[in-house]
Amino acid sequence: MRRLREYGSYAIGFASLFLLWHVAAVYLVQSALFPPPGSVIARAVALFRDGTLVANVAISLQRILTGFVCGSLLGIPIGLAMGSFAPIRRILDPYTEFLRFIPAVAMITVAVIWFGIGETSKLFLIIYATVFVVVLNTAAGVASIARNKIRAAQALGATRFQIFCHVALPATVPYILTGMRLAMTNSFVTIVAAELVAANNGLGKMLWDARLYMLVDDIFVALLVLGCREHMICPLPRASEMSAFAGRRATAIVNQGGDDGARRGRPGAGHEDPRGHHASVGWSHHLVAGGRYPGPRSAQCAALARPLRSRGARRAL
Amino acid sequence: MSSRPSSHGTPPLVVLRGVEKTFSSRQGADYVAVRGFYLELARGEFFCLLGTSGCGKTTILNMIAGFEKPTAGVMELEGKPIAGPGRDRSVVFQGDDSLYDWLTALENVEFGLRMRGVPKTTRREQAHHYLDLVGLTGQEAKHPSELSGGMKQRIQIARVLANEPKMLLMDEPFAALDAQTRAVMQEELRKIWQATGTSVLFITHDIDEAISLATRLGVMYAGPASRLKEVVDVELEGARNRTDDRFLGYYRRVYGMIREEVEVARRRERPDGPR
């Protein structure tokens, strides 16, 4: 019953969207440049029937998926290494801090010059759009592992390698998935832009051609398809769905060029920090019995991770 | 020395001699947390370490656990220097962030056994046994996020017990619990201690808790450069009654010691404040 009501309200939401569009197009704008949903859907059906729509969507998706998978496979180990070992982080920080602020869209220029308008340039661009987001989220995830998780494992007799496999990695998975999800969004932006500028096929190319020949319906079909991508392909679970895996929710920590509240902090100068459960330099640093506590910067990570935990039912004993 | 264990004859389990811990800071001024710390812990005893906040109780525990290295002094477990963390000394932490959210209660408890390569059926059996012992029967399949604060601390306790350590190190494990739950947990911990015979070092700043649990308790000076001020043998047998005259006698005595240190700490924090 509740399900039915949920789906019912969704349906009303979607219907109202199309209704508004229809009213705006037919009664308010009344221009050939803004087609009503009816004619756009009719055009979409026609393009679907003759195969061009499917072909264009397929090629764009294929580019995104290849680049996305390659970028993630590259980004996850780098992120894990950066989060785990401070020297590696210091060495790679300049790269990520510099390159991640150059939008992948801006890199289309050099990509086309270097690799032409074929698949290689698309692959390069999607990897570029993916890798930094994944790296930064993975590293932030590793860095925000609670120190006590590592210490507990040590006191239970786990080796360094075991701690990595059985504690650091699973604790980071929600962050990795969040990074991948953000990367997927970036990839869509990038591929459309890349295909607009230089490509022989794909959704972006379809948009550009339609503009060239003033096929307004075709433009709207492409836009409609782009708008529906969330519902068409969902290879990555949403953050809320990850709670099943981790027993808690993960947040988007770092987006490319965006605010990164949980930047891997530098070790601070705190004296004694007995309640500093979260450390900021990476799990491997918790292994070392050193004379310096991780500093108060860790509070940022804690603030992010805290309310996400302990959402479970609070039952009395 | 007043820090001698009450049971004579057998060699002590843990020995701390002249232990000092200095934390270096980037601002240059190093902080001496503890200095000249002497303590011997006997096998099977329940030792509570009391002190004002920031006096270095946790530092001592972290050093015995092997998470921190002393800057000076000797630390031995069964006559061998403590070099790092090991499964002979298991730690129960104050918060629940040491539990593995992605594992069920049962999997959390068998974590140590799994790391050691104990076969699945054996470790399942053992984990069930310890979950029963801490009163978590029926909660095996739940994740920590689905359990209450008290239950999470029970998982922590079961997890370390399953590893059969020589020593339990407990860092204010019940501090975050409500008063009723805490009282229940204290009672159960005492029962578990009596059943298993494991040595316990228990850190708290709750005098009542210390007297309820300990066979011996130590009060530390206010930090910095703290050490043990006094050690008290708690000679109360059986179930401890908080309204019992002898219990109250201990309470008054320990309260007096701590009160002085609270004053010292307060004056150090605000040198010009009211006396």
- Token pair of B216 as six digits: 């011996």
Which amino acid would we find at residue A96?
T
- Token pair of A267 as six digits: 């070790």
Residue B229 has pLDDT above 90, yes or no: no
Are A70 and A206 in the same domain? yes
Interhelix angle A169-197/A239-246, nearest 10 degrees: 160
Least confident residue range of B108-117, B201-210, B254-263: B254-263
- Position A2 scores a pLDDT of 75
**Residue ranges making up the domain that contains A89:** 51-236
Are A192 and A297 in the same domain? no
Helix (H, G, I), strand (E, B) or coil at A219: helix
Are A187 and A219 in the same domain? yes
User: Can you state the percent helix, strand and coil of chain B, rounding each to 5?
Assistant: 35, 20, 40
What ipTM did this prediction achieve? 0.85
- The beta-carbon neighbor of A155 closest among B22, B87, B148 is B87
User: pLDDT of B150-161, one tens digit each?
Assistant: 888 889 988 998
Domain boundary among A196, A212, A236: A236
Q: Best-predicted range by mean pLDDT among A253-267, B69-83, B230-244?
A: B69-83
How far does the CA of residue A130 sit from the closest CA of chain B (Å)? 26
C-alpha distances in Å from residue A297, one per residue of A93, A265, B31: 18, 6, 19
Question: How many CB atoms are closer than 10 A to CB A212?
Answer: 8
Helix (H, G, I), strand (E, B) or coil at B23: strand
- Position B219 scores a pLDDT of 87
Are A159 and A259 in the same domain? no
Is residue A215 included in any domain, yes or no?
yes
Helix (H, G, I), strand (E, B) or coil at B223: coil
Domain boundary among A208, A236, A264: A236
Percent of chain B residues past pLDDT 70, beyond the cut: 94
- CB crowding B89-111: b at 16 or more within 10 Å, else e: bbbbbbbbbbbbbbbbbbbbbbb
Is residue A205 included in any domain, yes or no?
yes
The verdict on a CB contact (< 8 Å) between B85 and A171 is no
Q: Check if A271 contacts B (Cβ < 8 Å).
A: yes
Residue B6 has pLDDT above 60, yes or no: no
Query: Which residues of chain A from 120 to 159 reach within 8 Å of chain B, CB to CB?
Result: 146, 148-149, 151-159
Are A113 and A156 in the same domain? yes
Q: Chain A residue with minimal CA distance to B111?
A: A156
- Position A226 scores a pLDDT of 87
The verdict on a CB contact (< 8 Å) between B145 and A268 is no
Domain boundary among A236, A271, A286: A236
The verdict on a CB contact (< 8 Å) between A309 and B115 is no
Which of the pair, A239 or B18, is modelled with greater confidence?
Answer: B18
Is residue A312 included in any domain, yes or no?
yes
Closest CA relative to residue B210, chosen from B255, B166, B245, B165: B255
> What strands lie across the sheet with B80-81, from one edge to the other?
B31-41, B14-23, B72-77, B80-81
Are A63 and A158 in the same domain? yes
- Position B57 scores a pLDDT of 86
User: Can you state the percent helix, strand and coil of chain A, rounding each to 5?
Assistant: 70, 0, 30
The verdict on a CB contact (< 8 Å) between B26 and A159 is no
- Token pair of A225 as six digits: 């398809």
User: pLDDT of A2-15, one tens digit each?
Assistant: 778 878 888 888 88
Q: How far is the C-alpha of A276 from the C-alpha of B107, rounded, in Å?
A: 26
> Quick one: pLDDT band at residue A24, thresholds 50, 70, 90?
very high
Give the domain CATH number at A77: 1.10.3720.10
Inter-chain Cβ pairs, chain A and chain B, closer than 8 A: 149
The verdict on a CB contact (< 8 Å) between A149 and B31 is no
Q: How far is the C-alpha of B273 from the C-alpha of A262, rounded, in Å?
A: 38
Which amino acid would we find at residue A263?
R
Residue B86 has pLDDT above 80, yes or no: yes
Q: Check if A281 contacts B (Cβ < 8 Å).
A: no
The answer to whether B106 touches B175, Cβ cutoff 8 Å, is: no
How far does the CA of residue A279 sit from the closest CA of chain B (Å)? 12
Task: State chain A's mean pLDDT as an integer.
Answer: 76
Is residue A7 included in any domain, yes or no?
no
- State how beta strands B167-171 and B89-92 pair: parallel
Q: Check if A162 contacts B (Cβ < 8 Å).
A: yes
The verdict on a CB contact (< 8 Å) between A149 and B67 is no
> Quick one: pLDDT band at residue A282, thresholds 50, 70, 90?
low
Q: How far is the C-alpha of A287 from the C-alpha of B210, rounded, in Å?
A: 31
- Token pair of B141 as six digits: 């399949």
Is residue A71 included in any domain, yes or no?
yes
Rounded to 5°, the CA angle B150-B154-B158 comes to 175
Which amino acid would we find at residue B193?
W
Are A219 and A300 in the same domain? no
Q: Check if A257 contacts B (Cβ < 8 Å).
A: no
Give the pLDDT mean for A164-178: 91
> Quick one: pLDDT band at residue B183, thresholds 50, 70, 90?
confident
Is residue A79 included in any domain, yes or no?
yes
The verdict on a CB contact (< 8 Å) between A155 and B25 is no
The verdict on a CB contact (< 8 Å) between B143 and A247 is yes
B229: CB partners within 8 A, 6+ apart:
B218, B219, B220, B221, B257, B261
C-alpha distances in Å from residue B166, one per residue of A282, A292, B57, B82, B100: 30, 28, 20, 13, 23
Are A66 and A176 in the same domain? yes
Mutate to test the interface with A, among B27, B55, B145 (most CBs of A within 10 A): B145
> Quick one: pLDDT band at residue A228, thresholds 50, 70, 90?
confident
> Quick one: pLDDT band at residue A129, thresholds 50, 70, 90?
very high
Give the pLDDT mean for A266-287: 40
Q: Check if A284 contacts B (Cβ < 8 Å).
A: no
Residue B175 has pLDDT above 60, yes or no: yes
**Which residues in chain B are closer than 8 Å to A158, comparing Cβ atoms?**
111-112, 115
Is residue A37 included in any domain, yes or no?
no
Strand partners, B203: B49, B171
- The beta-carbon neighbor of B115 closest among A149, A162, A311 is A162
How far does the CA of residue A290 sit from the closest CA of chain B (Å)? 6
Are A184 and A88 in the same domain? yes
User: pLDDT of B89-109, one tens digit each?
Assistant: 989 998 888 899 999 999 999
Question: How many CB atoms are closer than 10 A to CB A219?
Answer: 20
Q: Which residue has the tokens 């039952």?
A: A315
If you count DSSP H runs as helices and E runs as strands, how many of each does chain B have, helices first? 8, 10
Least confident residue range of A42-46, A204-208, B117-121, B249-253: B249-253
Contacts 24+ apart (CB under 8 A), A300-307: A300/A261, A300/A262, A300/A263, A300/A265, A301/A140, A301/A143, A301/A144, A301/A262, A301/A265, A302/A144, A302/A277, A302/A278, A304/A144, A304/A251, A304/A253, A304/A261, A304/A262, A305/A144, A305/A146, A305/A248, A305/A278
Are A55 and A202 in the same domain? yes
The verdict on a CB contact (< 8 Å) between A289 and B89 is no
Q: How far is the C-alpha of B97 from the C-alpha of A40, rounded, in Å?
A: 53
How far does the CA of residue B275 sit from the closest CA of chain A (Å)? 27
Q: Which residue has the tokens 């407990």?
A: B170
Residue A181 has pLDDT above 60, yes or no: yes
Is residue A285 included in any domain, yes or no?
yes
- Position B239 scores a pLDDT of 66
Helix (H, G, I), strand (E, B) or coil at A117: coil
Closest CA relative to residue B258, chosen from B53, B67, B92: B53
The verdict on a CB contact (< 8 Å) between B85 and A314 is no
The verdict on a CB contact (< 8 Å) between B97 and A289 is no
Q: For residue A170, is the peptide bond before it cis, meaning its omega torsion is within 30 degrees of 0?
A: no
Rounded to the nearest 5°, which phi and psi values hold at A131? -60, -40
Are A131 and A201 in the same domain? yes
Q: Chain B residue with minimal CA distance to A268?
A: B26
Are A73 and A206 in the same domain? yes
Give the pLDDT mean for B246-251: 83
- The beta-carbon neighbor of B184 closest among A166, A274, A317 is A317
Q: Best-predicted range by mean pLDDT among A29-33, A290-294, B29-33?
A: A29-33
Number of structural domains found in chain A: 2
Q: How many residues does chain B have?
A: 275
Residue B1 has pLDDT above 80, yes or no: no
The answer to whether A192 touches A227, Cβ cutoff 8 Å, is: no
Residue B197 has pLDDT above 90, yes or no: no
> Quick one: pLDDT band at residue B72, thresholds 50, 70, 90?
confident
